Amino acid sequence: MAYLNENYFKLKAGYLFPEIARRVAAFTSENREAAARLIRCGIGDVTEALPLAAREAMKAAVDELGDRATFRGYGPEQGYSFLREAIAEHAYAPLGCKISAEEIFISDGSKCDTGNILDIFGSQNRIAITDPVYPVYVDTNVMCGHTGEADEGGAYGGLVYLPCLPSNGFVPALPLEKVDLIYLCYPNNPTGATASYEELSAWVSFARENQAIILFDAAYEAYITEPGVPHSIFEIEGAEECAIEFRSFSKHGGFTGVRCAYTVVPKNLMASSADGKRHRLHPLWARRQSTKFNGVSYPVQRAAEALFSPAGQAEVKALISHYLGNATLLREACVAAGLEVFGGINAPYIWVRCPEGVKSWELFDRMLQEANVVITPGAGFGAAGEGYFRISAFNSRANVEEVARRLAAMTW
């Protein structure tokens, strides 16, 4: 008899975004007219063309594969050194971070890496997550059996929830109890908030004092346009002894479909075995990747490398300014409608408070039915997300302008 992983039974019905897609499909199948008018501002999926620099590099790489003399088979599991070196030089050195190419692991996505990283951690860790939160951090811990059952509000036993509210600027206070693994994401998904140097320094000190590890998701760092906001946890002194950072080409390079990301596991980062001995995590992650992963395709890694070229950088800048321009329009439209808004300045997400007494899935239904606009209900990101909704700025300008008109036409 084959037995299944019963932890999956603890998961809520569907992963948030497929669940939204299911509800939208049910609505549009019965409303042809609404289907034609539908504008999706739910999942944070890019809409604009892939940068030319990336496309050209990808095509040239494909041609190399078409010639026996330059053909390549399996690549290094950790990623080609040309890409890892480009990341160390262009993404970390300018920030003053001493991250070497050997500490960078190329992968096919930060979503996968933030889930897969649990392979190298023990099951006795006490896990802290922000609330609201990117649901992958929670669900992957549920799947591994690191939690109890969910309560009626969807909070899982065994996890330490760190509320992120307007009152703390969506940066959680340090926990009063001991925790071992801490998920932080800044610029934040879903609230669009950023964390300051002081706030991240407090977390790094806490982690070092408690021999805890911060799993820092920086997938949206390229959207930071204001000065004085940290782009990487490794800008904080001592973070290389207590943090892993996840970054991606998805949101600023238009790579959500192309797939390329990277994870930094510093060589100095240690964790304990049950006997209390300290061990480096870098060889464990290298071992995990070389066993379970065969790397990202060569043309894709060449395309990612090209995003660091001067031409690639100019195109990335234009993409970010397009999406942040959308975010400004959406923010203004929400403010004009009398709603309270957060985020959307250093992030492609706008976090909006629902009108008094309206629940976030109710608002999702209203927006779908009355405005034919898909948003993400805050409750899908956790209990503290109830009473909020998220609008994604990843869209064409014309669509965003139309969303702004529809928000203005609704009765709030």
Residues at the site binding ligand MLT, with contacts judged by CB under 6 A = 43-45, 111, 134, 189
Beta carbon of residue 109, minimum distance to ligand MLT (angstroms, whole number):
8
283: three-class secondary structure by DSSP? helix
Which tokens is 141 given?
Answer: 């811990």
Strand stretches in 20-113, DSSP E: 39-40, 104-107
Question: In one letter, which amino acid is 25?
Answer: A
Beta carbon of residue 44, minimum distance to ligand MLT (angstroms, whole number):
3
Beta carbon of residue 260, minimum distance to ligand MLT (angstroms, whole number):
13
Rounded to an integer, what distance in angstroms lies between the CA atom of residue 39 and that of residue 369? 12
Q: Mind spelling out the 3-state secondary structure of 335-346? A: HHCCCCEEECCC
Nearer to ligand MLT, 44 or 266 (CB): 44
Nearer to ligand MLT, 189 or 395 (CB): 189
| Tokens 């669940």, residue located | 19
**Angle at CA of residue 271, ends 242 and 173, nearest 5°:** 40
Nearer to ligand MLT, 44 or 312 (CB): 44
Task: Report the residue number whose CB is nearest to ligand MLT.
Answer: 44
Nearer to ligand MLT, 43 or 286 (CB): 43
- How many CB atoms sit inside 10 A of residue 65's CB? 14
Q: Residue 200: in which H helix or E strand, if any?
A: helix 197-209
State the DSSP code for 132: S
Under 8 Å between Cβ of 270 and 279? yes
Beta carbon of residue 349, minimum distance to ligand MLT (angstroms, whole number):
8
Rounded to an integer, what distance in angstroms lies between the CA atom of residue 217 and that of residue 203? 14
Beta carbon of residue 271, minimum distance to ligand MLT (angstroms, whole number):
26
Smallest CA-to-CA distance from 175 within 185, 165, 160 is with: 160
Rounded to an integer, what distance in angstroms lies between the CA atom of residue 381 and that of residue 44? 14
Nearer to ligand MLT, 23 or 111 (CB): 111
202 burial (CB, 10 Å; 0-12 / 13-18 / 19+) is: middle
Nearer to ligand MLT, 147 or 189 (CB): 189
Nearer to ligand MLT, 44 or 230 (CB): 44
Beta carbon of residue 350, minimum distance to ligand MLT (angstroms, whole number):
12
Nearer to ligand MLT, 42 or 295 (CB): 42
2 burial (CB, 10 Å; 0-12 / 13-18 / 19+) is: exposed
| Tokens 């036409």, residue located | 409
Which tokens is 6 given?
Answer: 């019963």
Rounded to an integer, what distance in angstroms lies between the CA atom of residue 308 and that of residue 318? 14
Nearer to ligand MLT, 101 or 143 (CB): 143
